[in-house]
Amino acid sequence: MIALASDHAGFLYKEHAKAVLKEMKLEFKDFGTHSAESVDYPDFAHKASESISKGECEFGILVCGSGIGVSIVANKHKGVRAAACESVTAAQLSRRHNNANILCFGERLVGWGVAEGMIRTFLSTNFEGGRHTRRVEKIHSLTSC
């Protein structure tokens, strides 16, 4: 199950992402927003990220104007590794090396073709493991810095 969420600035791409997920025959849950009316991105990013943290969804796609705000919110949740990406290569590496479980991007920063490529790549790329495993384990090992 894929968690989807956006604010008003990412609403159009979130709606486009639904079509891509349907084509890929992947189930998803839309945590909102449900219109282009102005809203606060943390409200929706928290809901989607919580579903990943609780194990209700395996992966997530969060969209706002830049992708940065939603990634900051998402990474506050236990077990979440959200990556703000602006290229297909970044999306691929976030999965291969960082075992990212949420893809974040900005509707104002990338064209739809790039966004679609990132979605497809992110959801079809596996974590490499190996030397990357110990590094990913260190992400969640500290209780405070």
Residues annotated as catalytic (active site), given as ranges: 64, 97
Structure token digits, residue 12: 């159009």
Answer whether 116's CB lies under 8 Å from 16's CB: yes
Sheet (strand 82-84) strand order: 28-30, 2-6, 59-64, 102-106, 82-84
Report the relative pairing of strands 102-106 and 28-30 from DSSP bridges: unpaired
Residue 105 DSSP SS3: strand
Compute φ and ψ for 135, nearest 5 degrees: -70, -45
